[in-house]
Amino acid sequence: MENLHSSVGAAEWLLLVVSLPTQAATARMRIWRSLKAMGCAALRDGAYLLPGHAAHLEALQELADACAREGGSAWLMAVAPASPTDVGAYPQLFDRRADYAVLVKSWKEAASALPSLSVAELARLQKKLRRDYEALVATDFFPGEATLEAETSWASFNQRITRLLSPDEPHDTEGRIPRRNPADYQGRLWATRRRLWVDRVASAWLIRRFIDAGAQFHWLANASECPPNALGFDFDGAAFTHVGERVTFETLAASFGLEDNQALMRLGAMVHSLDMGGSPVAEAAGFEAMLTGARERLPDDDALLAEIGGVLDSLYTHFARDSARTQA
């Protein structure tokens, strides 16, 4: 294993050759599913190829060890193309264009039914489709034009679901974000649309946790009814809303000089991915599931903010610990 670890940096490809006893049907299926999920190219039955990344080496070694435990055999090798023809042929084994086409087609077919689905059904569908999309992106080792086209299609489709989950979502505005002094924003009344969803609940948490500890919130049935003494957020015409590519959470962080807080930026990336699409964040699916469940159970937005605020506190602590460990 040490020799393979030392050579993998120079190796372009990893090849796993496995053989299992005929009676080990369950183990064979489990290992095959793992290889498929990793995006391996099957050269023939029992021979699987992956680009020579360190993470792939570790994952393939785990499968090789699993084969041995089941009474089979496995050979894990660092390999390289033997001819210029093979140099171009190997990446073609990982062409994901057909897979992306299937996904995009499924999004188009699902689009017409979206308005008839309940909030819970929309959230479940969004979660499933995001999981399928992110799984394919994770195995797209040689991104190309199809990757970009699918990213655009997913962003558009995902926004359609998000708008149904959260009607009257604000449109992006352009312009610079002025820096605000938190001392001028203490004990204020803040207002946003009721039935909180991702960006609104995270923004309300950010306000009370990092900007205005004495903040009071007013949940609006209609954004046009925002009281004149309230600071609006996350609706068109609000004091704080989407600016350029930033969601409201990110706009608030920039407005009050919080962008040096790496844990908050990690939270912001999670909110952005759920609200607008973009780069997947590992914790996003779990947070969305908890928010969906809490939203179904708690019709009162104050109770929803209190419950999800605890979740965001925990995520913030998790991200802060990660950031401290990375900087150490």
Per-residue pLDDT of the chain (328 residues; tens, 9 = 90+): 444 444 444 458 999 999 988 887 888 889 989 999 999 999 988 999 999 988 899 999 999 999 999 888 999 999 988 888 888 899 999 999 999 999 999 999 888 888 888 877 888 888 889 889 989 999 999 998 898 888 888 888 887 887 787 665 565 555 678 899 999 999 999 999 999 999 999 999 999 999 999 999 999 988 888 998 999 999 888 899 998 889 999 999 999 999 999 999 999 999 998 888 777 788 998 999 999 999 989 989 999 999 999 999 999 999 999 877 776 5
Q: What share of the chain is helix, strand, coil (3-state, %, to 5)?
A: 60, 10, 30
The whole-angstrom distance between residue 307's C-alpha and the CA centroid of its chain comes to 22
**Residue 305, CA distances (Å) to 163, 217, 243, 254, 298 in order:** 20, 10, 24, 22, 10
In contact, 257 and 184? CB cutoff 8 Å: no
User: How many separate helices (H) and strands (E) can be counted in the chain?
Assistant: 12, 7
Task: Give alpha helix (H) positions in 231-298.
Answer: 248-255, 262-276, 284-297
Query: Residue 234: in which H helix or E strand, if any?
Result: none
Residue written as token pair 């604000």? 170
Residue written as token pair 């419950």? 307
Q: Residue 153: what pLDDT?
A: 87
Q: Residue 328: what pLDDT?
A: 56
Please name which of 224, 207, 206 lies closest in space to residue 215, comparing C-alpha atoms: 207
In contact, 239 and 203? CB cutoff 8 Å: no
Type of residue found at 139: T
Query: Residue 212: in which H helix or E strand, if any?
Result: none
The whole-angstrom distance between residue 121's C-alpha and the CA centroid of its chain comes to 19
210: which DSSP letter?
A: I
Residue written as token pair 């449109």? 171
